[in-house]
């Protein structure tokens, strides 16, 4: 879409006024090229939430589309199992969509969404906003420069303790193993980032952690990963333990979760190990034998701290990206196909947890299905 075919200011609606919707709304309001046109939320608190955001309120997408506040684009921030039907309703009406992760709760429904967006010539973006995180961008730059040499392995963790109220009220859906649980809510972010940094994952083996809550959703797992490139990895996942080793505490991207600063000594939630050096993320410490005559374990490692621009806010950058895509047809940071590939891996993790068996991943399933669209 050319910049002459849309207004200079993009009207954006927020669908869902729960925990993440207002955060997106703030980024929309902060952007000079965007206008927060409306909030859609059928919940009793929806109208009050819209008032607090200073925008129009509608209890349904149908009423929004029939109103004077019809948007150019919408950001969907609702429970996982509603992502596809709500996105389809908007896309069928010609509204561009940024849908929160996961793109869907099943592969077939995700493919249907991607296909409909292509047929309607509507932009479909998926909210893997951490691709805009300055710590991850700095890490990717080091990998792409070849400073780590050939990547051999990766260690990762996402561990913290969610409070009981996270699962109450409007959060009841998170208790469901089908569309809640730590795999689809949190691991999917990590899978997307690991594939963004290291390429496609082609095999997983996962063992579920023991339960501490009496509802159905899983709380964690230990996972072995194999990448197409030959990189191998381990990942520990848990939402029921006090821990600084998670993306939110490490990067400070979520203002409701206190950041663990570098000088507090927690270290990285990722450790990327290469033949020429190893990198800890997000403290961005690079360890190597750079400059040593005979590199090896008898030599002292060099320790180098990398610089990161902490002023960049990923949610703000993601909204700007949405505007650039709608106005100027900019390349997508995370397409529907890429998001669905992360879903395929998470589905394999859940299958492995259930069967106790390693699961091979055919990454070409999404590619071939997309070619048939």
For 13-31, the pLDDT digits (tens) are: 999 998 899 999 999 999 9
H or E stretch at 322: helix 314-328
C-alpha triplet 274, 340, 165: angle, nearest 5°: 90
Q: Which two tokens stand for residue 283?
A: 């403290």
Which residues are within 8 A (CB) of 7 and not within 5 positions of it... i.e. 6 or more apart? 72
User: What is the three-class DSSP state of 264?
Assistant: helix
> In the sheet that 10-15 helps form, which strands lie side by side, from edge to edge?
56-58, 34-40, 10-15, 73-76, 96-100, 124-127
At 9 the pLDDT is 95
Proportion of the chain above pLDDT 70, given as a percent: 95
- Cα of 76 vs its chain's centroid, Å: 14
User: What are the structural domains, with CATH classification, of the chain?
Assistant: 3-130+315-333 (3.40.50.720), 132-312 (3.30.360.10)
| Closest C-alpha to 44, from 56, 55, 59 | 59
Alpha-carbon torsion, ordered 368, 140, 261, 267, to 10 deg: 90
Using N-to-C axis directions, what is the helix angle for 314-328 and 21-30, rounded to 10°? Answer: 70
Using N-to-C axis directions, what is the helix angle for 364-371 and 336-355, rounded to 10°? Answer: 140
Question: Averaged over 6-10, what is the pLDDT?
Answer: 85
At 256 the pLDDT is 85
| Closest C-alpha to 66, from 38, 88, 45, 42 | 38
Q: Which two tokens stand for residue 58?
A: 């509608």
Per residue in 54-104, pLDDT (tens digit) is: 999 999 999 999 999 999 999 999 988 999 999 999 999 999 999 998 899
Task: Place 3 in a pLDDT band, splitting at 50, 70 and 90.
Answer: very low
**pTM for the structure as a whole:** 0.84
Task: Place 373 in a pLDDT band, splitting at 50, 70 and 90.
Answer: very low
36 in Cβ contact with 28 (< 8 Å): yes
- CA pair distance 357, 203, nearest whole angstrom: 11
- CA pair distance 37, 34, nearest whole angstrom: 9
pLDDT at 157 over 90: yes
At 179 the pLDDT is 76
Question: Averaged over 333-356, what is the pLDDT?
Answer: 93
H or E stretch at 58: strand 56-58
At 243 the pLDDT is 96
pLDDT at 367 over 80: no
- CA pair distance 191, 76, nearest whole angstrom: 21
């Amino acid at each position: 879409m050319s910049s002459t075919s849309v207004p200079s200011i993009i009207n954006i609606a927020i669908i869902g006024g729960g925990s993440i919707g207002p955060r997106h709304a703030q980024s929309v309001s902060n952007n000079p090229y965007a206008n927060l046109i409306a909030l859609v939320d059928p919940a009793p608190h929806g109208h009050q939430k819209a008032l607090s955001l200073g925008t129009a309120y509608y209890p349904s997408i149908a009423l929004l589309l029939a109103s004077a506040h019809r948007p150019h684009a919408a950001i969907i921030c609702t429970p996982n199992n509603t992502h596809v039907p709500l996105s389809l309703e908007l896309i069928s009406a010609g509204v561009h969509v940024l849908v929160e992760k996961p793109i869907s709760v099943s592969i077939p429904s995700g493919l249907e969404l991607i296909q409909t967006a292509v047929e309607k010539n509507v932009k479909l973006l998926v909210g893997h906003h951490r691709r805009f995180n300055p710590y991850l961008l700095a890490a990717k730059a080091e990998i792409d420069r070849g400073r780590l040499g050939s990547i051999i392995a990766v260690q990762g963790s996402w561990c913290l303790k969610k409070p009981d109220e996270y699962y109450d009220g409007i959060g009841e859906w998170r208790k469901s193993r089908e569309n809640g649980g730590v795999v689809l809510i949190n691991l999917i972010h990590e899978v997307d980032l690991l594939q963004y940094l290291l390429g496609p994952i082609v095999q997983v083996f996962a063992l579920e952690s023991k339960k501490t809550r009496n509802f159905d959703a899983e709380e964690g797992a230990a996972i072995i990963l194999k990448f197409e490139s030959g990189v191998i990895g381990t990942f520990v996942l848990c939402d029921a333990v006090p821990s600084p080793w998670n993306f939110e505490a490490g990067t400070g991207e979520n203002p409701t979760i206190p950041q663990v600063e570098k000088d507090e000594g927690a270290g990285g939630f990722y450790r990327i190990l290469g033949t020429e050096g190893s990198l800890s993320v997000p403290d961005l410490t690079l360890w190597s034998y750079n400059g040593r005559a005979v590199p090896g374990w008898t030599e002292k490692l060099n320790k180098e701290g990398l610089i990161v621009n902490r002023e960049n806010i990923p949610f703000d950058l993601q909204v700007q990206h949405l505007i650039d895509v709608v106005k100027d047809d900019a390349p997508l940071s995370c397409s529907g196909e890429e998001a669905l590939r992360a879903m395929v891996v998470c589905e394999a993790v859940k299958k492995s947890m259930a069967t106790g068996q390693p699961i091979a991943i055919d990454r070409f399933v999404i590619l071939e299905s997309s070619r048939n669209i």
